[in-house]
Structure 1
Amino acid sequence: MPETAMPRRVDWSEGAWTHAPAATEPRGDSLAVVAEPGSDAWRRTAYGFVHDSEHALVRPLEVGRAVEVVFTADFSEQFDQAGVFVRVDAERWVKAGLEFADGVLGAGAVVTDGWSDWSVGAVPEWLGRRVRVRVSRGADALTVRAGLDAEPLRLLRVAPFDAAHAGSAGPFVCAPTRAGLTVVFDEWTETDADASLH
């Protein structure tokens, strides 16, 4: 039986930005990211617009691997958001994590293949607390989990994702409606993908 690889902390310098944020600042082992106002990722569905300006710090994510990020969900304005971004190209990507909408913090994912599909559930008890978001890449799917740091993670989404895609993944932040959103990412880790859904 193959050995299970230990989780590996990813250095911030290993990633490349899909779109540069307003500013970044190392804080010990953590990285503070300041979002540009109006930054977002969305394609067409329901709203009729295309936004392609998210701040995602990504590196290759192979089949059989998972990426995790840890940050504090200290959000207060409409559509403040952060988590894990998985990108193939402008038409095919997934963003998974926490988003503040209509006065409530939600956990979910936007899965995009030409058109965006948003699934979300309310988690108001996570507001202002450290959360962990995990995305595992299997042979034909991404599995999204999230939860309070150091507590069991909840299954949020299983989404199709072709093994032939050259996907990249890492932490992301967006601030669609305001200036000044700063998210401090405390961890970016790569490890083995989840062995099962349940």
Structure 2
Amino acid sequence: MRRINWQSGVWSNEPVSSRAEAEQLTVEAAEGSDYWQKTMYGFQHDNGHALLAPWVGNEAIEVSFALDGFTELYDQAGIMLWYGDQQWIKAGIELNDGVPHIGAVVTDTYSDWSLSPVAEWSGEVITLRASQMKDAVILRARTENHPWRTIRVARFPYDSGKQAGPFLCAPTRAGFRVTFTRWTATAPDEDVHTDPPIH
């Protein structure tokens, strides 16, 4: 396992503030920040905050953050996989109708959205994991007290030029802060049916 320094990443859009202390990074999102392309709503939002570093080789990328402070509709944080402004995937926790949901938005010109409620994860530290396999990525999530859950297998057929890292967005309000606790690269998944180790 290799820890990625917060300073290794470059923000896609600068947040209101970011502060690194010890091994943690606390970030405040701008009001109205989001990532979405066209589908259903018609709008295109590309002003969210993703801290991106090159994603090279076959390493899996993991991002962990504390699930507290999520109070308003669409408050969200997790991991961003980036190839370009029309090809990206964000996966993480999003507050929907007052309940935290684990989900993913997969974008290739148009965005789609999948989600599942995880009220039992409230107050815990969440880890998102992305591991490339052939032309796809396996997206998983867990908490300190809940095992890995596979949340999506999505097409992401890029061997070079891709980036990954933590992200957060606050589509509906100001003052949303997230504390990220870990950003690591580790061995890739062996198989979609085999859980990776917990570090």
TM-score by length of 1: 0.94
Gapped runs of 5+ residues in structure 2?
194-199
Shift of 1:54: 1.1
Q: Does 1:13 align with 2:28?
A: no
Shift of 1:150: 5.7
Aligned to 1:124: 119
Aligned to 1:42: 36
Structure 1 counterpart of 2:139, which letter?
V
Q: Superposition pairs for residues 4-83 of structure 1, below 5 Å?
A: 7-74=1-68, 75-83=70-78
Structure 1 counterpart of 2:6, which letter?
W
Structure 2 counterpart of 1:113, which letter?
D
User: Aligned-residue CA RMSD in angstroms?
Assistant: 1.1
SS in 1 for 2:31: coil
Residue identity (%): 45
CA contact (8 A) 1:63 1:137 kept: no
Aligned to 2:165: 170
Deviation >3 Å, runs of 4+: none
CA contact (8 A) 2:83 2:158 kept: no
1:85 to 54, 70, 80: 80
Cα distance between partner residues in 2 of 1:172 and 1:144: 15
Shift of 1:147: 1.3
What does the per-residue CA deviation read over 1:97-134, in whole Å, with 9 as the maximum and x for residues that have no partner? Answer: 10001111100110000000101000011122111111
Aligned to 1:160: 155
Aligned to 1:102: 97
Cα distance between partner residues in 2 of 1:87 and 1:149: 27
Shift of 1:149: 2.6
Cα distance between partner residues in 2 of 1:85 and 1:134: 10
Cα distance between partner residues in 2 of 1:164 and 1:129: 33
